[in-house]
């Protein structure tokens, strides 16, 4: 398990009321998005990736579609390396959602086509990061999320 205080990045978030609803500024999509529990976790993680781990915004994608076994899916966050190869896949859950096997199965399915070397599952309170060895089909849980210096 990774020890991160995501809430400490809350001061970096920008809020706005739109039609009576709270919205958050998404620096990647460059627009305000509805402030839902999972979205808050996603935006806090984006701030962490940019502010603490120093990933350039241009290497991060948010909520993009991918096709898996003829089904359209949407990942939460995908970080690319400097060669624009998928590097870190992040699955965000709302804080009330416990991270269990279903979350790991979901991110593993998303990774079938992406083949990232690192995956992260978070609900904003609990964070699991693992490295993936695709050749020998193994994984290892990590105590830290790889920072931008690890990116090739």
Q: 72-90 pLDDT, tens per residue?
A: 888 999 999 999 999 999 9
**Cβ-proximal residues to 25 (8 Å cutoff; 6+ apart), any chain:** 13, 14, 15, 16, 31, 32, 43
- Report the domain count for the chain: 1
Q: Is residue 147 part of a domain?
A: no
Check pLDDT > 90 for residue 150.
no
pLDDT at 1: 87
pLDDT at 46: 98
Q: Is residue 124 part of a domain?
A: yes
Check pLDDT > 70 for residue 47.
yes
- CA–CA gap between residue 1 and residue 152 (Å, rounded): 24
- The CATH number of residue 15's host domain is 3.90.1570
Q: Is residue 125 part of a domain?
A: yes
- Domain with 94, as residue range(s), is 6-142
């Amino acid at each position: 398990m990774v020890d991160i205080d995501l809430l400490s990045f809350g001061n970096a978030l920008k809020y706005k009321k739109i039609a009576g609803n709270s919205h958050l500024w998404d620096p990647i999509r460059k627009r305000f998005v509805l402030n839902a529990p999972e979205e808050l976790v996603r935006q806090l993680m984006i701030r962490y990736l940019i502010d603490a781990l120093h990933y350039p915004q241009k290497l991060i994608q948010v909520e993009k579609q991918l096709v898996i076994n003829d089904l359209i899916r949407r990942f939460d966050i995908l970080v690319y390396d400097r060669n624009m190869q998928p590097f870190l896949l992040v699955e965000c859950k709302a804080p009330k959602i416990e991270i269990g096997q279903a979350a790991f199965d979901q991110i593993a399915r998303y990774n079938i086509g992406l083949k990232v070397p690192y995956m992260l599952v978070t609900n904003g309170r609990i964070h699991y990061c693992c490295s993936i060895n695709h050749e020998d089909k193994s994984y290892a849980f990590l105590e830290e999320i790889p920072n931008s210096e690890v990116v090739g």
